[in-house]
Amino acid sequence: MSIAIVIPQGLFKTTGELLSIIILQFVDVNDPADYRRNLLPYLFYLEEDEAGPDPLQIARQFGIPEERMIVLSRNENPYGPSPRVPEALRNAQLNRYTDSRPFLEALSRYTGCSRESIVTGAGMDEIITTICRLFLMPGDRAFIPVPTYNVYGLATELCGAMPIYQPKAIGNDMVQDVPKGVKMVFLCSPNNPTGEVLTIENVRAILEETDAIVFLDEAYIEFSEKSLIELVSRHDNLVVGRTLSKAFALAGMRLGYALAPSWIAEQYRRVAPMFSISSASLAAGVAALQDLAWMRECTGKIIAERERMKKRISSFLPSQGNFLYLKTHDRSKDVARRLLLRGIIVRDCSIFHGCGEHALRVTVGLPEENERFMDEFERADGP
């Protein structure tokens, strides 16, 4: 008798990983407590996501006064949410399961899209993982031009599917040559970490050329000039992801949404966790969406700071996000460490596929924070 074992092409990254999985599955480890064998095989090689250094721990470790620590690594909004948000939080009804209709209505007014075409999640990260669960299974492939946001690859791998990373010229807004047979394509505009945007012509060409589902991430759209959501009503394979974490300064409330064709929105609602956004977060989201003037004032200040920083440090690439990207002279790991010792946390981009060992991403913070960063950066990098 012969037994054939079929391994989907690309499911295991290296022979070593495959061997360790086989060993874990079949060798008697003589340890009844080793329940790890029950884990899904592809979880063994999942890369860990990097939350970055903890500012309080760094302050204690290096004797830096806590108030001197500056976090410019998470693309957060330093101005905080609309003053209407704390008020709404006080009035949130906490004893009942949540009702997301007021949030959906507020999103519909803000985006100009129908309520039926909007789906919500606890942050866009939950939207990304839920969409992947709709379309990807072991053996499938997802196309990801890099460098870009790491969660697309992670969510793909969580489904047992394989990310196809295609290096893209940094600062070039074109994505080309989507391979045949991929089930999903991930695009990000403005792109994290590099800040460039895709043109409508480019995205339209991709939508027409591929039969995959295209996820377009517009997390930073309020800092840029033009959204492409208008394409959703004309393309049945496009989902546009958005978040209230950035321009609306609600990263801690975990509020994401997406605009999707009705057939995808219907399937999404069947699969997504029903009450994953808390009543407090929903109330905060509605209040923030009712105060667009506050949001626009914050984005205006951040954009002005971004352009001021770009003028002073010319190696920053043009960016349409609330962050800036540059190539370093020394290894970015070393530059980030030198800044860390001075109390400034930035993103060392070597954790991004396709960035190499010499790139940093810096969030646009408060003017005084940006000033300190720029002074220290000039000392921390260079021959």
R_g (Cα) of the chain, nearest Å: 22
Minimum CB separation of residue 123 from ligand PMP in Å reads 3
Please provide residue 84's backbone torsions phi and psi, each rounded to the nearest 5 degrees. Answer: -70, -20
Beta strand extents in 155-204 (DSSP E only): 162-167, 184-188
Minimum CB separation of residue 149 from ligand PMP in Å reads 4
| Contacting positions for ligand PMP (CB under 6 A) | 75, 123-125, 149, 188, 192, 217, 219, 243, 245, 251, 256
- DSSP letters spanning 165-231: EEE--TT------PPTT-SEEEEESSPTTT-----HHHHHHHHHH--SEEEEE-TTGGGSS---GGG
Q: Which residue is nearest to ligand PMP (CB)?
A: 123
Q: What is the distance between the alpha carbons of residues 272 and 121, in angstroms, rounded to a whole number?
A: 8
> Both tokens of residue 72?
């410019």
Q: Give whichever of 11 and 239 is closer to ligand PMP, judged by the CB atom.
A: 239
DSSP for residue 141? E
Minimum CB separation of residue 184 from ligand PMP in Å reads 15
DSSP H or E segment with residue 20: helix 15-26
Q: Give whichever of 41 and 81 is closer to ligand PMP, judged by the CB atom.
A: 81
Q: What is the distance between the alpha carbons of residues 241 and 257, in angstroms, rounded to a whole number?
A: 6
Q: Give whichever of 21 and 151 is closer to ligand PMP, judged by the CB atom.
A: 151
Q: Give whichever of 277 and 326 is closer to ligand PMP, judged by the CB atom.
A: 277
Q: Give whichever of 188 and 287 is closer to ligand PMP, judged by the CB atom.
A: 188
Q: Give whichever of 217 and 305 is closer to ligand PMP, judged by the CB atom.
A: 217
Q: What is the distance between the alpha carbons of residues 304 and 224, in angstroms, rounded to a whole number?
A: 12
3-state helix, strand and coil shares in percent for the chain, rounded to the nearest 5: 45, 15, 45
Closest CA to 219 of 189, 195, 194, 249: 189
Closest CA to 305 of 362, 266, 350: 362
Minimum CB separation of residue 124 from ligand PMP in Å reads 4
Q: Give whichever of 212 and 219 is closer to ligand PMP, judged by the CB atom.
A: 219
Minimum CB separation of residue 349 from ligand PMP in Å reads 13
* Secondary structure of residue 91 in the 3-state scheme: helix
Minimum CB separation of residue 188 from ligand PMP in Å reads 5
Q: Give whichever of 20 and 276 is closer to ligand PMP, judged by the CB atom.
A: 276
User: Do 325 and 317 meet the contact criterion of CB atoms below 8 Å apart?
Assistant: yes
Minimum CB separation of residue 101 from ligand PMP in Å reads 20
Minimum CB separation of residue 290 from ligand PMP in Å reads 20
